Chains A and B, each alone.
Chain A
Amino acid sequence: MSEPTPEAPRTEPDGSTQPQSVVLSVRGLRKHFVLHNVDGRQVDGLAGIDLDVSAGEHVALAGSSGAGKSTLLKCIYRTYLPSAGTATLRSPTGPVELTALADAELAAIRGRQFGYVSQFLRAEPRRGALDIVARAGIARGMDRATAVEAAATALRRLHVDESLWDVYASVLSGGEKQRVNLAAGTISAPQLLLLDEPVSALDPANREAALELISDLTAHGVAVLAVFHDLDAMARLASRVVVMRNGRIVQSGPPEEVLHHLEGVAR
């Protein structure tokens, strides 16, 4: 690998410049699916995405389903293998090109430097909520006692009832699972957090607690790239809304400018 090059001020697709604080820089990112067992059918998921997310910035992805929002998150996390383009993460030791990083190195920085929280609890059968969240902390380098304490704090903050902490997470309700998932994904703040509908199953009170948690992370400098199905969450959390259609970015701007065009589109 070559040495990091000094960072020049970056130019956003919309023309503004973002010096220094850019945490994620996506350029020309494409995803092309080839379905070998469906007549070799080809599907374009992303048709060239340029996007920057800075520290302390919350970028909300909007657009109808199938627009490519989740595909973009998965290509950055590398759950999907990008077909072309780059996604560069600014890490404490220099820029890391995620699309080209060796699998083992990528696995080593997942969670620690960039996190991903989906709307579903990932397969963790036969483990209790506290255990799942604490293990996420240990995987990020905490010692066991610190991790258990941090897990308890996170679960309490998201109003997960203490009587459920040692119950297998697989038997929890959808909303409880989602909060366990969010607690695990945010137990230690990464530089970049990718959120895919993390509050979709929550009732208003719990949703409120989750949104506050996410808002706090942004306030503490975490760069957030998120998909929410409701415009209200976007309006409250987003510093910028990016609208996608057919795997492309078609609009980008502050929520108050963008969101009123979106009524009926993002819902």
Chain B
Amino acid sequence: MTLVSAPRPTVLRVDRLGKIFGSQNPAAIEQTGPEVGSEKTPDGSSVVAAWDVSFDVAAGEAFGVIGESGSGKSTVMRAIAGDHSASAGSVRMRRRDGSTSDLLTMTQSERRALRVDELAVVYQDAADGLDLNVTAGGNIADRLTAAGGRHFGQIRERAAELLERTEVPLDRMDDLVRTFSGGMRQRVQLARALANRPPIVLFDEPTTGLDASVAAGVLDLIRSLLEELGIAAVVVSHDFSVIEMLTTRCMVMQHGRVVEQGLTDQLFEDPQAPYTQRLVAAARA
């Protein structure tokens, strides 16, 4: 058997990622998970928020992580983003210069540099990704200057271009983000995330909390941007329609473990695990 087409290079490889909150007692692993029905140990001393999580993402590919609250999906995303430390595993990322770095063993300053132009995050709560007391233009300019931009006119021009691309009216460019609606804040977050053309963007529930029609618009925008810019993405959501629209492959998490992984259409049309079958049935009801 031969490969049919040159496979796209892997840009992110998550290998046996684990995160335990509280006591780091290895016995906590056996005392938690889908079979036990909890991510928390019986004595309450540890929460195994994620364990043995492995997946990889190719250049330009969107990979989904789906699960209910407490499943560990956001823990996985925050460990990759470096928002909290991990207890086990590795997250290897292909850098712009072709080298590979383990994001879990980076220093804080290396991580800050990475987040400027190689790995961006779009959070559910815009307050996590933006400074609400700064203007829309200022939030984007901040990323551009962090990447070395010095020329005021050029920065402003690029910020305007990004806002235009994410469908934020340019006459709002100099308004404070806290005066923006939820949907508009997500668009500014997107503009900021894309500012330095990162090859990988992580999305944590990017449309949760928005009105349905607003969410649909933001989702369309994300979909178009991913397609046109060839960005690799990890999309975390509890919402099947988000995963279905944005990703080609995904995995299902429950109580901190991966219960199933596959092609997104296969996972929805022919789910194998009892838990996935239940989720799909509930989403379709």
Contact = CB atoms under 8 A, between A and B. Distances in A.
28 contacts: A1-B3, A2-B1, A4-B2, A33-B270, A36-B277, A36-B278, A37-B274, A79-B266, A79-B270, A81-B262, A91-B4, A93-B3, A94-B1, A94-B2, A97-B1, A100-B1, A103-B262, A103-B263, A104-B58, A104-B61, A105-B7, A107-B61, A107-B249, A108-B7, A109-B4, A113-B4, A123-B244, A126-B220
A87 B244 CA distance: 26
B284 interface: no
A78 B265 CA distance: 9
A97 B2 CA distance: 9
B1 A112 contact: no
Contact of A81 (B2, B244, B266): B266
Contacts of A106: 263
A78 B274 CA distance: 19
Interface of A: 1-4, 33-37, 74, 78-81, 91-97, 100, 103-109, 112-113, 123, 125-126, 135, 138
B108 interface: no
Given A78-B263, A94-B2, 10 more contacts: A4-B2, A80-B269, A81-B262, A95-B2, A96-B1, A104-B56, A104-B61, A104-B249, A105-B7, A109-B4
B267 to A, nearest CB: 9
Q: Please give me the 7 A-B residue pairs with the lowest Cβ-Cβ distance, nearest first.
A: A36-B274, A94-B2, A80-B270, A1-B1, A91-B4, A107-B248, A109-B4
Interface in B107-147: none
Interface string B241-285: 100110011000000000001110110011011100110010000
Chain B contact residues (Cβ within 8 angstroms of A): what range?
20 to 34
A108 B266 contact: no
A150 B211 CA distance: 37
B50 to A, nearest CB: 21
B2 A3 contact: yes
**Most chain B beta-carbon contacts within 10 A, residue among A1, A3, A36:** A36
B5 interface: yes
Contacts of B245: 123, 125
Nearest to A104: B58
Contact of B8 (A34, A93, A108, A113): A108
Contacts of B281: 37
B216 interface: yes
Given A35-B277, A103-B249, A80 B266 contact: yes
B1 A4 contact: yes
B227 interface: yes
Contacts of B220: 125-126
Contact of A79 (B227, B248, B269, B274): B269
A112 B6 CA distance: 13
A107 B247 CA distance: 11
Contacts of B272: 34, 81
Contacts of B265: 79
A36 B270 CA distance: 12
A239 B228 CA distance: 41
A125 B249 contact: no
A100 to B, nearest CB: 8
Contact of B5 (A36, A78, A108, A138): A108
Nearest to B57: A104
